[in-house]
Structure 1
């Protein structure tokens, strides 16, 4: 039996379709388009212990990777020539990275393509509801160190939220969940979605922490 989509997630899906690209980020692809394009899957799942709660599926990148080792991210990656679009790419990458079965996911909406200027990447987040959860884990250990679920109620907990700074001048949202730091593009998307969903609680925006040196590269 498929788990029904939570009311707040249905509201969020509708809000996403009504919000222009500028409402998500100040970084949008250049007029000529991004040099490289990618898609990530923002997969919301029923909590395993309490069906009234929900989680977001996240991965911890392998610590041996050349790019962003150990960083928390959504499942996802580059859009390949054989993909029909961002949705197909996000589902394929999730299948390859964590063993997700495509037919267990109800795709609800997509965000506009957002831009990572330091990598020349245009990234499309795809919002999905995991209506039939099944066991998942690192299917590509050379890329994924671990897979975990971040409870929504812990993400909105003010105690979990703060701002990180980088010596380069970068300042952005961050979360600490189960001892793992969520920052950068992933934290930015989560922060915006929590706001659009009406779930955000007041938190201390003056709490700032320097990004750990291992993430500076």
Structure 2
């Protein structure tokens, strides 16, 4: 079953990403897939791509250092599904509105990626890919949850000099990006690496700098 929802009025650069993302399987993204027993907490994130001054960009935010989970980490807007949310798309749009003031009418949802798993918190996460056709000013609505918000050019993320390997205290090593004064790692970095690959933006890079996480 395809997850490709719409291609209407998308810029040319969007199409390879949309078509490939609609067909990808979870195991092509990560080895961390939701447990089959279904006890993981449902949640969703919004991967919001827009046309910026330096080409396509993606919306990222830095979570507050005082949060209980994922404190201080760069991430996509998103969170846990609430009872009134009709589906993961509704969750992602609601959370983005609450966190950074995103106007849902400025967004065209294109497709979703397969459900992934954040094992530390036992979240089953649905990444929602969307076209920000009418970008508008955004800001942190609640500084207690979000310390800053940024639109990061995909060309910066694809730059080999920005690519790092992030080593967790557990010993796990995953992809990372040193960009906009942020070290993007973990779940968010893994999804971003997939977006770059599917969209044709990824550049060859030598696994080099190893960044140890606190």
TM class by shorter chain equals: over 0.9
**C-alpha deviation, 1:167, in angstroms:** 2.3
Which of 123, 126, 141 pairs up with 2:125?
123
Alignment map for 1:39-188 (pairs within 5 Å): 39-47=44-52, 49-50=53-54, 53-188=55-190
The CA deviation at 1:159 is 0.4
For residues 74 and 121 of structure 2, the distance between their equivalents in structure 1, rounded to whole angstroms, comes to: 17
Give yes or no for the alignment of 1:33 onto 2:38: yes
The Cα of 1:42 is off from its aligned counterpart by 0.2
Q: CA RMSD in A?
A: 1.2
User: Aligned partners of 1:206 and 1:146: how far apart in 2?
Assistant: 28
Is the 1:34–1:115 Cα contact (8 Å) retained in structure 2?
Answer: no
| DSSP-derived class of the 2:211 partner | strand
Deviation at 1:151, TM superposition (A): 0.7
TM-superposed deviation, 1:76 = 0.3
CA–CA distance in structure 2, aligned partners of residues 98 and 207 of structure 1: 32
Q: 1:34 and 1:196, CA in 2 relative to 1: closer, same or farther beyond 3 A?
A: farther
Q: 1:76 and 1:116 mapped to 2: Cα distance?
A: 13
Structure 1, gaps ≥5 residues long: none
4+ runs deviating over 4 angstroms? none
| Structure 2: 5+ residue stretches without partners | 1-8
Change (3 A) 1:151 1:34: farther
Helix, strand or coil at the partner of 1:60: strand
Matched-pair contact (CA < 8 Å) for 1:162–1:204:
no
3-state DSSP class of the match of 2:190? helix
> Are 2:209 and 1:210 equivalent residues in the alignment?
no
What is the total number of aligned residue pairs between the two structures? 206
Q: Distance in 2 between matches of 1:119 and 1:64?
A: 16
